[in-house]
Amino acid sequence: MSPETFKLGTRGSPLALRQAEWVRQALLAADPGLEPGIVVIKTSAEKFPERDIPMIGTGVFSRELDEALLAGELDAAVHSLKDLPSEHHPDLEIIAIPARESPSDAFVSADGKSLAELPAGAKIGTGSPRRKAQLLAWRPDLQIVPLRGNVDTRLEKIEREGLAGTILAQAGLRRLEKEDLITELIDTSILLPAVGQGALAVVCGRADDRFRRSLESLDDGDSRESSLAERSFLRRLRGGCQVAAGALARIEGESIRIEGVLASEDGATCLRASREGPRPDGPQLGSELAEELLENGGAEILDGSGTDQP
């Protein structure tokens, strides 16, 4: 019996391709009867590489992949989970969240200094409102410089733009075999990660059962439970990439603990709280945590940002 062709969609950045290849190999191992091939789809993130994310709109990293799935041009798509909007198309589903890599943020320094060692006024490059807000809440003397592009582009801009360094996800650097560039991992007491950071998401059509068993075999229970709790937090905030919010859920035995942050972009207001309960209650805890932050000043922060997008 000849292998069955399988079309796996991805963005075209080096990191996205590395992640898609990992999923392709995992599918081969799970089902030798498959012949998975990678299909590169150009998304809005690549079409407008220098434009600010809020100017492009919701789903900047996923919109075109979703359209290809809905049109039957792909059998599944691979995403960084943190790039997916908190509300997904009703005809699509996240069928697998493989074992999560580290969710930590990492500082890549120009000269080996840690964040705490940087002089007042040092320039840190990041295009993330979440990173900017939390860094300024901790050290308001820093200058935050907008920085977009894939991992290699942002690393190159450190020297080109005279930056003291930049913040990147440890998981991405590890997948690209660039972990040796990390100066320090940033403690979550300073910088909570993006929702789903470090996790991959494999998305397919909700009604498409042809490869369901093979795709479901890639799912990791702990990673799914923690990630869905975090996504529930973000969904209640109705937040996307432009919201200065982060969350991290951890499985501890039969319990789950989730910590969340919501901040004004200038860092002047930075709200944090946490919830803990039974593992099955993760999504409810995430939603309740978001509600607590909204009631304690978060609603005013979101009103000030003009954000009401999933």
Annotated catalytic residues are 83
Backbone CA torsion sign across 235, 237, 238, 239: negative
User: Which phi-psi region, left, alpha or beta, contains residue 283 (left: φ > 0; alpha: ψ -120 to 50)?
Assistant: alpha
Question: CA dihedral in degrees (179, 228, 190, 145; nearest 10)?
Answer: 70
Residue 281 near residue 225 (C-beta atoms within 8 A) = no
d(CA 215, CA 243): 31
Q: What one-letter code names the amino acid at 197?
A: Q
φ and ψ at 149, to 5 degrees? Answer: 120, 170
Point out which residues pair with 262 in neighbouring strands: 245, 271
The DSSP annotation for 24-65 comes to HHHHHHH-TTEEEEEEE---HHHHSTTS-HHHH-TTTTTHHH
